[in-house]
Structures are given as structure tokens and as C-alpha cells.
């Protein structure tokens, strides 16, 4: 059974600094997803990572995947306030997404 | 059109009521999903439809009854719910499993309150 663990669960960030969220998964997952959720809103797809060594970047966010270590990271560069949200990683088990617990990001001025 | 729509946005119902949640997508996706999300928790999968057939039921109580009338529509029929069923109900759709990019696109959700 696929299990997905994220850490940290809460991240208080200062504007302008860099941070990383880690996502470990327990068994083979042929895709790794990152989603963002704003309070009271739905989930927005950020990245889909398909293969070992995959790296994708969008603005201040960069996601990478190491399938051998069963680890994905979401790197935040020079945090800004509008990045405050909850970020979920998810692995795939057949037609099911298995989500991590989520990381709450808060950016302080 | 890259949108999943859900109605209603908010629903308040009593424990004896019958109501339905609706979800629609026009992206040509052949897999559709219902999730339940409690506050500060990740979404929990409830049901998966693949090519309009129910393929996964995550041991959901029978007071929740899904229906997929066609490839664009997904309903969730609710009957005799309990207060602990209050949550955000999210619908999602994706390309079939075998497609390379079968990321799930989520609708805005229905905020359900059971009194």
C-alpha cells in the first residue's frame, strides 16, 4: 500500500528566503503530483513528475523527483506573500491518488 | 474548456433529507472521482468512475450513492447523512489511467453541512 509523507507540516517563511518541502513515498509510484490549495478553495495542479530526475519549474516553485530515493522536493525561491497556501504532494496507486498530509505555508513580511 | 464545475457551492441539509451533488466536465476525460475533505486534512478518495463504470468504491457508507449518467456528468446522491459527513466534497476528472499526463483536475467543491 502506498503511503506518502510530507514534511514539514507547517512552514513559516520570511519573504525573500528559500525553503524546501519534502515528500517521501513508501512504494513505487509512477507519477508524483504537487497541488496547491488556498483556504476554502479547491486544489490547483502545480506539477506532474513522471520519471527519475524530472525537474519542473514555474515561477518561484521548482519540483524534482528522485525515484530511487522515493523522494520529491518542492523548492521555494525568494518566498513572497502570495505563495501562502497548503501544498500537497500525491503519489499514484492505480487510478487512486494518495495524498500526503499537506504542508501549510505562511509567508511573513 | 479546462474546467470542472460543481453545483451547488454550499448545501445545508437535515439528517432526513435527500439531496444530490452534481459535477460536470467538458475536457473529454473518461475518469471521474469523488473526494471528501475535512478541514486541515488531505482529500480522501470516495469513488472512481472509469469509462462511466464504477471502478473504485473506498468502502463508503451506502448513504452516499454515486451515479455517472454519461462521460461528462457525475452525481453524488445523499440520503440520511450524519453530522460527521459535513465536509468539502470535491469532484475531479482525468484522462484514463494509461495516458501519460493523467493529472486530476479538481472542481471548486461543494461545502456540505449536515444538521
Q: A83 with A105: CB under 8 angstroms? A: yes
CB–CB contact A43 B56 (8 Å): no
Which residue, among B93, B8, B75, B83, has the nearest Cα to B38 in the 3D structure? B83
Residue A99 CA, distance from chain mean position: 10
Q: What is the pLDDT along chain A (109 residues), one digit of tens a residue?
A: 899 999 999 999 999 999 999 999 998 777 899 999 999 899 999 999 987 888 999 999 999 999 899 999 999 999 999 999 999 999 988 878 999 999 999 998 8
Separation between Cα atoms, residue A1 and residue A6, nearest integer Å: 17
CB–CB contact A95 B48 (8 Å): yes
CB–CB contact B48 A99 (8 Å): no
User: What DSSP character marks residue B85?
Assistant: G
- Which chain A residues have a beta carbon less than 8 Å from that of B90? 42-43
Q: B72 with B59: CB under 8 angstroms? A: no
CB–CB contact B50 A95 (8 Å): yes
Residue of B nearest to A37 (CA): B42
Beta bridge mates, A20: A75
- Which chain B residues have a beta carbon less than 8 Å from that of A43? 43, 90, 92, 106
pLDDT one-digit tens code per residue, B74-93 = 999 999 999 999 999 999 99
pLDDT one-digit tens code per residue, B61-76 = 999 999 999 999 999 9
Separation between Cα atoms, residue A57 and residue A73, nearest integer Å: 12
CB–CB contact A42 B90 (8 Å): yes
- Which chain B residues have a beta carbon less than 8 Å from that of A95? 31, 48, 50, 55-56, 97
Closest Cβ–Cβ partner in B41, B56, B106 for A43: B106
Amino acid at each position: 500500500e502506498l503511503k506518502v509523507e510530507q514534511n514539514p507540516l507547517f512552514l513559516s517563511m520570511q519573504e525573500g528566503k528559500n525553503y524546501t518541502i519534502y515528500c517521501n513515498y513508501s512504494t513505487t509510484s509512477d507519477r508524483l503530483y504537487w497541488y496547491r490549495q488556498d483556504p476554502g478553495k479547491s486544489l490547483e495542479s502545480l506539477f506532474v513528475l513522471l520519471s527519475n530526475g524530472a525537474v519542473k519549474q514555474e515561477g518561484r516553485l521548482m519540483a524534482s523527483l528522485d525515484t530511487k530515493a522515493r523522494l520529491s522536493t518542492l523548492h521555494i525561491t525568494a518566498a513572497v506573500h502570495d505563495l501562502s497556501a497548503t501544498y500537497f504532494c500525491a503519489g499514484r496507486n492505480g487510478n487512486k491518488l494518495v495524498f500526503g498530509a499537506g504542508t501549510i505555508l505562511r509567508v511573513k513580511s | 474548456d479546462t474546467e470542472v464545475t460543481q453545483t451547488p457551492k454550499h448545501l445545508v441539509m437535515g439528517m432526513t433529507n435527500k439531496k444530490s451533488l452534481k459535477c460536470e466536465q467538458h475536457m473529454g476525460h473518461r475518469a471521474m472521482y469523488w473526494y471528501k475533505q475535512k478541514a486541515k486534512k488531505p482529500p480522501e478518495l470516495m469513488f472512481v468512475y472509469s469509462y462511466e463504470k464504477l471502478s473504485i468504491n473506498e468502502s463508503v457508507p451506502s448513504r452516499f450513492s454515486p451515479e455517472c449518467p454519461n462521460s461528462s456528468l457525475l452525481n453524488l446522491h445523499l440520503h440520511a447523512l450524519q453530522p460527521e459527513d459535513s465536509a468539502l466534497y470535491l469532484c475531479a476528472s482525468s484522462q484514463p489511467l494509461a495516458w501519460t499526463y493523467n493529472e486530476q483536475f479538481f472542481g471548486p467543491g461543494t461545502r456540505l453541512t449536515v444538521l
